[in-house]
Structures are given as structure tokens and as C-alpha cells.
Amino acid sequence: MSGKKFTTTSGIEIKEVYTEPSGMNELPGEFPFTRGIQKDMYRGKPWTMRQYAGFSTAEESNKRYHYLLSQGTMGLSVAFDLPTQIGYDSDNAMAEGEVGKVGVAIDSLKDMEVLFDGIRLQDITTSMTINATAPILLAMYIALAKKQGADLKQLSGTVQNDILKEYAARGTYIYPPAPSMRLITDVFEYCSKEVPKWNTISISGYHIREAGSTAVQELAFTLANGKAYLNAAIEKGLDINVFAKRLSFFFNCHNNFFEEIAKFRAARRMWAHITKDLGATDPGAQKLRFHTQTGGSTLTAQQPMNNIVRVSNQALAAVLGGTQSLHTNGYDEALSLPTEMAAKIALRTQQIIAFETGVTDTVDPLAGSYFMEALTEKLQQAAQQYIDKIDAMGGAVKAIEQDYIQREIARSSYEYQTEIEKGERIIVGVNKYTEEEQAAQNVFRVDDSIRRTQIEKLKKLRAERDNPAVQQALQQLQEAARGGENLMPHILVAVEHSATLGEIADTLRSVFGEY
């Protein structure tokens, strides 16, 4: 319990926790953690304010990172371009037209060094939104940390590494489900020994929601995927009381204010019971920790300044729901990557909520609200029905292979869009309170010449590196992939010898095939 005294602007003292007359028996920090995973929540310290960034070349992204850090960002969140996400180097024919567009192009350890130039990895937390190639990007990050002389035992951050939602909602998978799950559990096992503070997976509901799911579906499908990862790790012989502490979640936050808060509360409660039922006895392994990003699909290209209000409401819901870290979208992201001004306003939104509104002064301020408690219960019941159905199919992997989850998301997405088109659901500036639109000003564009820059870098790298050593490292990786060895040490060796991301991904393709 923090000793600091908290008051309203009128000088009225605010207690740390209110237990009467809510009728709830549990307290924050206690199983099943409905009211939050810490006893004092934001009274101890605020959530981590992350800003998702990455575009063009590593040099350009590095400038944006330094800018965000100078503005008070507490953690970096890296966006990678599509070729990087699906295991193609920038000079691959499949990469044409996409290099540096939706994130930064990372082809080799050299690019990773430039990306974090002047930033000590041991002093920050980094979240990397990467899935199919997560082991490769994580290996590059670890290799860079080693070069900086960092203590790997103190290195902290998150790698998304959630392949199941890629099959269900997003599409940037490479390998079939079975070898993909092997790669994920290899990361679990390796990091538990070598990088123990690293969060080895961020089980993502965000993209499920962006694909058109409801809040209940986001909750259900995300936890069902999480359950599949728990079972896969247990089958590998890992201790749930150890590896479950390094799992985190990544949720979306949309516009229905109270439903979103109830979703986060229900998620904590449900995950606590899921982990306990699978054998977790350590409270640290039963806690659901999560990052939130405001809803990208809720942003409108029409009247984009309205998005500042949407993002503010969503961010406030995430905070009232007890998020551990938060990214707020730029108001112009329906048009392009966020401009510097939009990124600054997004960050300032979080800072205003944290330091000016008073909502952080007491823990779980909405607990005891008849509406909130009933809504939390309703979301849990509806999500549990989905999870029971998925369990009956044999789990999330089987449900994805049978297209069940994909069909459910598609149905909800269609119904939502139909409601908008019929005017049954109002979107301000889109189907009501519309204005004659003017051309957008100050839109951020990424130059197509970036691919040429990356190709030149790759030519130079391949000319200067020890190519026989690279081939030997890739050969050893291929042999390990055919056998049952953990692949992370072999990927790390290949990375440190300057093998490219595409070469490593192709080596694994030669064994696992493509899905």
C-alpha cells in the first residue's frame, strides 16, 4: 500500500480501496483479480505509455523513437513492414510495393542495430508486433542487447508471437499450425532460461476485433487461444507456474464505454480460473496482464479530428478497465501512418488521463456499480459459451482448422457493417452529421525508394559477411528443425553471423513447408 495521500481538487481525501457497500467479497490483487492484478494499481505507478511506431527504414524509425522518448513515452512498440512479418527480405520479388509501408523493414541484425541506435535496450521495455517471424526478430534483439553489453536477465519487453489469431483473423502466417506452435513453445522454453523477464507471447484479441468481431468474441477467442498455448507448453513439459508468468495479452478498446471496461474485468476473472484449472498455483501465473490499443477500425477518414474524442474515450475505458500498458492511436491513422503531431496528441491524451482526471486515485472505481457488475457477468457467460463450444471441437487449433472462428468473425463483421449502412448504428461524420469533405492535409507518405535503399544494404551485407559461416549456421538450423531441438539458439547463431531474416525463414520453409 502506498503511503501517499490522495485528494480531489476540493481537498476531499480519497481512500485507496472502497469495500462498502459494493457487496463484493474480493479485493484488488486477490484471486480471481476481477478488480485488478495489483493492490494499489495506478496509485503505485501509472500504466506504461507506449506509442506504436515503425515505418520506412530503420534510420527513419529511430528518429521517431528518439522523439517519442523525449516526449515522455515509457516504452517502445515496434511495427514491422509486411515483408518482415511474413519472412521475406526487401529484395524478394514478393516484397515489391510493401517495403517500409506499414512498419519498418528489418532484413538483418545490421538493421536492428540502426533501429535502436542511441537507445540502451536494458533501460527500456520494447514490444514487438511480430508473429510468424517472432523468433528471428527476438533473436536479433537479443543479439543487439549482447553487443551493447546488457544483462540478458534484466532485458524486458514483449514479442507478440501469437500465430493462432493470424490464421483466424489477420493472415501473416508462414508455416502450418503444428510447426508454428513448436516455434512458439521454443521461445517460451528458451526465454524462461536465458531472458527470464521477457514476455514470450502477447495473446492478441486486438486483431480479432479489428477483423470485425464483437467484444464477447474478442474475449472468448483470445482466451481460447491462450488456453491452447498453455496446453502446448504443458505438453512440452514446461512448468505452468513459471511460463504462465511471462504470458501477456493484447486487447482492443472500442467505443462502447462500459462494455469495454466489463470485458477487461471479465477477462481477468476468466483467465484466473483457466490457469488454476490447468494446475497453476502461483498467483503470479494466474494473473492476466494486458496491453491495450485503441480501436484502429473505429477511426474515420471523414472529419478525422473527431477521432481525438474517440481515442480519449477508449483510452479512459482501458484505464478504468485496469490495463498495464496503453497505446493511443493518432487521429489521422484512417488516412495514413500517424504524423508527428498526431502521435504527440495521442500521447498527451494518456498523460492528461493519468495526471489531470483523478481516475487513477482509487483502485477499480466502478466496482460495485450494479450495471458494471451485471455487465461483467453477462460478458463472462456469453464468452464462456463460445469457449465451451471450442473445447468440444478439440481446442482453438481445431476450431481454426475447421474455419469456425473465422466464420463467426465474418458474420459479426457483416452484421455490423449492415447496421451502419442502414443507419441503425450512428457513426458521427460517416452516416450522420456529415460535411462536405476537403482533401486531407499533412498526410504522412512513405517513399517507394525505400526498397532500393534496403536492396543496396543487403548487397553490401552479403558482400562483406563471412558467407561460409552463414551457410554453416543455416545448415545447422535446418538439421535442428528436422530434429526435435529448440530452434532459438540456432536462430541466434545465424543472426549473429549476419544471416538475413529471409534466409532464416526460407531455411525453416524448406523443412516445415508453407500453409
Set of cell numbers at residue 342: 498526431
CA distance 105 to 88: 10
**Which residue carries 552479403 as its cell?**
462
Question: Closest by alpha carbon to 206, among 50, 378, 385, 357?
Answer: 50
User: Looking at residue 10, what is its pLDDT?
Assistant: 43
C-alpha cell at 133: 517471424
Rounded Cα–Cα distance for residues 477 and 297 (Å): 39
pLDDT of residue 5: 81
What are the grid coordinates assigned to 164, written together? 493462432
For residues 164 and 170, what is the distance between their CA atoms, to the nearest angstrom?
9
* Predicted local confidence at residue 220, as pLDDT: 96
DSSP states of 168-215: III----S-HHHHHHHHHHHHHHHHHH-TTEE-EEEE-HHHHHTT--H
In contact, 286 and 272? CB cutoff 8 Å: yes
CA–CA gap between residue 276 and residue 268 (Å, rounded): 12
Q: Report the DSSP pairing between strands 125-129 and 290-294.
A: unpaired
- Per-residue model confidence as pLDDT tens for the chain (515 residues): 457 788 655 465 778 876 665 556 789 999 999 999 999 999 999 998 987 666 668 888 899 889 888 888 777 889 899 999 999 999 999 999 999 988 899 999 999 999 999 999 999 899 899 999 999 999 999 999 999 999 999 999 999 999 999 998 889 999 999 999 999 999 999 999 999 999 999 999 999 999 999 999 999 999 999 999 999 999 999 999 999 998 999 999 999 998 999 999 999 999 999 999 999 999 999 999 999 999 999 999 999 999 999 999 999 999 999 999 999 999 998 887 788 899 899 999 999 999 999 999 999 999 988 888 888 888 999 999 999 999 999 999 999 999 999 999 999 999 999 999 999 889 999 999 999 877 666 665 666 788 999 999 999 999 999 999 999 999 999 999 999 899 999 999 999 999 999 999 999 999 999 99
Whether the model clears a pTM of 0.85, i.e. scores above it, the answer is: yes
Contact 246, 205 (CB under 8 A): no
Tally of CB atoms within 10 A around 393 = 16
What pLDDT, on a 0 to 100 scale, did the predictor assign at position 181?
93
Backbone dihedral angles phi then psi of residue 129, each to the nearest 5 degrees: -85, 85
Pair 395, 404: CB distance under 8 Å: no
Peptide bond before residue 21 is cis, with ω within 30 degrees of 0:
yes
Residue 408 is predicted with a pLDDT of 95
**Residue type (1 letter), 258:** F
Cβ atoms of 179 and 484 closer than 8 Å:
no
- The torsion defined by the Cα of 287, 311, 209 and 156, in degrees rounded to 10, comes to -40
Q: Cell 463484493: give the residue.
A: 24
Instruction: Supply the DSSP symbol for 95.
Output: G
Strands 325-327 and 48-53: parallel
Contact 228, 397 (CB under 8 A): yes
